[in-house]
A and B are shown apart, each in its own frame.
Chain A
Amino acid sequence: MKESDVSEAITLLALFEDIDPAAEAIDTLRELGIEEDQINCISGIPVLESMLGRPRQWTNVPRLAAGGAIAGLFVGIFLAFITSNLYPIYVGGQPLVPGAPSIIVIFEMIMLGLLIATFVGVFLDSRFPSYSPKEYIPEISDGSIALLFSCPVGEKETFVEAMTRLGAEKVEPAEAQQL
């Protein structure tokens, strides 16, 4: 499915009620020649990639979280060690940079950095917020699984028939709609 077919590709949406038929449908799609990255699977609950026979999904969230923790560490070091030296004020028999309180400050800032980075990581990885029209069908939030895949226009009937045979509730061209 290369350049000559791109201009004539159509995105189809096949809706399934259950995981088993959806998994079989993905196998069928692969047999019919559709690449993994041409298939997108949308569901109302998280379905493991292994259940559908799909490759593992990448995610940057753990790395971003680690980066956030390191950023938090630097903020904590700044607050605990550097601010006390910028304007040295002495209090009650404690050294200028007290040991145990510094640990507390650094710990809290590491956790704050970690959690904020995790949260922001979800936004970045999923490209949230995104309010442009997208291919979607409301039945998904009612628990169905939808398979979005692009196939050449000419072969559309083959795919529709294959999906319906496997138990799809509906197979229709996917339209980008305002969510």
Chain B
Amino acid sequence: MAVTAESLPKSGNHAEEHEDPRQHLMFDPRPRGEMNAMVMDAMRISGWKFWVLVLVLAVVVAISIFGAWGYMIAEGLGVAGVNRPAYWGVFLVNTVFWIGISHAGTFVSALLRVFKAEFRRPFTRAAELMTTFGLAQAALSIFMHMGRVWLSYWMFPYPNQRGLWPNFSSPLMWDFLAINTYLLASTMYLFLPLIPDVAMARDRSKGWRKTFYRILALGFRGTEGEWTHLRTAMNIFAFAILPVMFSVHTIVSWDFAVATRPGWSSTIFGPYFVVGALHSGIAAVAMVLVLVRATMKNMDYFIRKEHLDALGKLMLVVSMGWAYFFFNDFMVQWYGGDKFTDALLHFHEAGPLGWMWFGMLIFNVLIPWITLWNKRIRTSPGAIFVIALLINVGMWFERYIIIPISLSINRMPFTWHEYVPKVEIVLGIGTLAFFVLLYVIASKLVPLVPVWEVQEGQMAHTLRRIGKAIVPTVSELE
């Protein structure tokens, strides 16, 4: 499936001053067989560093999730930092944080697909893996915060001998339904475009890998029927998973917004949280792509500066959106505030953790706004990594402020008390290590780049001449 690209005429027409589109992935096609080989090669484990990383991560996961969590289940939530009035703490912060990260995958593979943003093609799978693994960490964090987690199955609606059903008035039940729907949907959406790539891997493997891919490929060959069913399903998924994505984080925000607490009972929380999720999610995708590019073989062919550039622009736009919603929430509360809301806002900015509030604004707004307008910064992997990391830290701060810090202030001043996290820190680090561990293992088991989508895109992109300029052209092949 070769694509012919015309060569640029030399000298005299300033063509070199303008960016050469042939640097872009879509205009730099290689034979499919070569791209397949590159992706397969990236999955090979060569050397001891991989195993050391896996071992370290596995040890951290074992200590925190099996050790520390087991200890907490045996001793009770007293070993955590939650108290009255901050009944929810870092566990819920982590839950909201991981759900935010998981919105990245859906944004990239569904929203960008619906808007036909072609730059998404090489990294949809890398992003979708983040969604599935991020949701797994969110689910773990939810289970961690429950007082009697061994009875959590009571939230599942099943007929039982007591005749009891769960309470669908509760936002936690909406969470249950929405997060499970989203987890199932994004896992299915991860798997569908994976089938042709796993079929390719099946054709190029031997031994246990071949058996593994053969089973996973379900007997896919690439017949017209199979492609039609697959692509129809992917289109339905892309459109349908978007309302699910919006509803999930809105419902999570309603855990707080429907409560009677000052600072929580805010009608803007729905869209505020969705935009916040996109903010931290897109930044997380950028971080993962920089790491993948730096650590995996051949990935610098697929993931190029133009992708970081595009993500950087998105990060800037979403940062502006986040600032808009934050200002909305803050200004309205500050202006019309009752005495408790006033006390709350003052506690945010000038309390013992006031540095977190300023840090949040600096990392989420100031730094992206002063850096991401510049193309050189956007196309520098190191700079993007740092900016994205700071955005994620800032968004974690934001959720920490909304949950335990806001809970410290309520309408009964006699009960005001600060929150100091204890075992939650260990467990939070455990979820992070678990996420990285799952991702690292998946990157060696599953082709990380959807090569068929990249080739499809390369087939659709051509260069043509308008006047003296060579312009990229994209055909609509749907």
Report A-B touching, CB under 8 Å. yes
Interface size on B, residues (CB 8 A): 64
A23 CA / B251 CA spacing, docked (Å): 51
Contact A119 B192 (CB under 8 A): yes
Contact A59 B232 (CB under 8 A): yes
Is A158 interfacial (CB 8 A cutoff)? no
Contact B168 A141 (CB under 8 A): no
Is B382 interfacial (CB 8 A cutoff)? no
Residues of chain B within 8 A (CB-CB) of A179 are: 199, 202, 214, 217, 219, 221
Residues of chain A within 8 A (CB-CB) of B151 are: none
Contact B168 A108 (CB under 8 A): no
In residues 58-90 of chain A, which contact B (Cβ within 8 Å)?
58-59, 61-62, 65, 79-80, 83-84, 86-87, 89
In residues 132-179 of chain A, which contact B (Cβ within 8 Å)?
132, 134, 136, 138, 140-143, 179
Contact B168 A105 (CB under 8 A): yes
A34 CA / B226 CA spacing, docked (Å): 22
Is A40 interfacial (CB 8 A cutoff)? yes
Is A18 interfacial (CB 8 A cutoff)? yes
Nearest neighbor of A129 in chain B, beta-carbon distance: B218
Contact B222 A42 (CB under 8 A): yes
Contact A45 B218 (CB under 8 A): no
Contact A54 B185 (CB under 8 A): no
Contact B225 A126 (CB under 8 A): yes
Residues of chain A within 8 A (CB-CB) of B456 are: 45-46
Contact B169 A54 (CB under 8 A): no
Among B169, B233, B452, contact of A94 (Cβ-Cβ < 8 Å)? B169
Residue among B31, B196, B232 with most chain A CB within 10 A: B232
Take A42-B222, A84-B168, A115-B241 as given contacts and tell me if A121 and B229 are in contact as well, using a CB distance cutoff of 8 Å: yes
Nearest neighbor of A75 in chain B, beta-carbon distance: B157
Contact A128 B222 (CB under 8 A): no
Contact A87 B163 (CB under 8 A): yes
Residues of chain A within 8 A (CB-CB) of B226 are: 126
Nearest neighbor of A69 in chain B, beta-carbon distance: B240
Interface segment, one of B176-184, B361-369, B371-379: B176-184
Contact B174 A125 (CB under 8 A): no
Consensus secondary structure, chain B interface: helix
A94 CA / B165 CA spacing, docked (Å): 17
Take A42-B222, A83-B168, A91-B167 as given contacts and tell me if A108 and B233 are in contact as well, using a CB distance cutoff of 8 Å: no
Contact B243 A45 (CB under 8 A): no
Is B392 interfacial (CB 8 A cutoff)? no
Contact A18 B1 (CB under 8 A): yes
Closest beta carbon of chain A to B179's beta carbon, Å: 10
Residues of chain A within 8 A (CB-CB) of B165 are: 79, 83-84, 86-87
Nearest neighbor of A121 in chain B, beta-carbon distance: B233
A151 CA / B166 CA spacing, docked (Å): 63
A61 CA / B237 CA spacing, docked (Å): 11
Is A114 interfacial (CB 8 A cutoff)? yes
Please list the residues of chain A having a beta carbon within 8 angstroms of any beta carbon in chain B. 17-19, 40-49, 54, 57-59, 61-62, 65, 79-80, 83-84, 86-87, 89, 91, 94, 98, 101-102, 104-105, 107-109, 111-112, 114-116, 118-119, 121-123, 125-132, 134, 136, 138, 140-143, 179
11 contacts between A and B (CB under 8 A): A41-B224, A44-B452, A58-B225, A61-B236, A104-B247, A105-B168, A108-B247, A111-B181, A127-B219, A130-B219, A141-B200
Q: Told that A87-B165, A111-B185, A115-B241 touch, could you supply 13 new A-B pairs with CB distance under 8 A?
A: A40-B224, A42-B223, A45-B1, A46-B227, A48-B477, A59-B229, A91-B169, A105-B177, A115-B237, A116-B188, A129-B215, A129-B219, A130-B218
